[in-house]
Chains A and B, each alone.
Chain A
Amino acid sequence: MIEITEQPIEVQKVIEAASLKEAGAINTFIGTVRNQTSGKNVVKLEYEAYEPMAIAEIQKIIDRAAQQWSLTGWAISHRTGTLLPGEIAVVVAVSTPHRKESFAACQFIIDSLKQTVPIWKKEFFEDGDQWVSAHP
């Protein structure tokens, strides 16, 4: 399952979508909105995605992961729209026959997602806002 959604992410649904009877491990990463950046209070974040390309790029990451590890199941959900500190922005769930692979695959997927998938976030502070990572 690959999902880009404006609705709050249901973690259990993502885990279930990644689960399979052949699996001996399910590894789940949950990314949440931090309440500060470099000592400044974050009031909210706004996420936007180039949805069809984001889904295609996530699929490429899954395909690369499946070449390296024996994935039995996987599911990724990424939120868009306005999020407050503490809310869940992304959930990655991966299942494999053994636990070691599940950690490696899950880390690979979230690390790659942050590098190549066309999703952007804007941080809003008490005194301004900025697109994250846009400038050096």
Chain B
Amino acid sequence: MKLKIKTFGISRDILGGREVELDMNGTSVGDLRKTLSTRYPTLDKLNSLFIAVNHEYAPDEKVLSDKDEIALIPPVSGG
């Protein structure tokens, strides 16, 4: 499945763009994690990495569709 992924903070530096197209194996958030980890191993060095789907933190079981707005959420540091 082809997905468009929005990136923020350090994840943008690692993926190299504000929005990156990714061809992933599988359909869930967990599958996306595996694809990301294989393609961008530097992501594994972060303190944490969450995936947001349609502006909500998503669990690994969540099934994705190509219409979803998907974003990488590296460790937040607001305030």
Contacts and interface: CB of A to CB of B under 8 A. Distances in A.
B78 A52 contact: no
Interface residues of B, number: 20
B78 A78 contact: yes
Nearest to A134: B10
Given A90-B79, A113-B78, A135 B8 contact: no
Contacts, number: 79
Instruction: Using C-beta atoms within 8 Å of the partner chain, give the interface range for chain A.
Output: 20 to 34
A119 B76 CA distance: 6
A40 to B, nearest CB: 16
Given A120-B8, A131-B10, A134-B9, A50 B52 contact: yes
A21 interface: no
B67 interface: no
A53 interface: yes
A52 B9 CA distance: 16
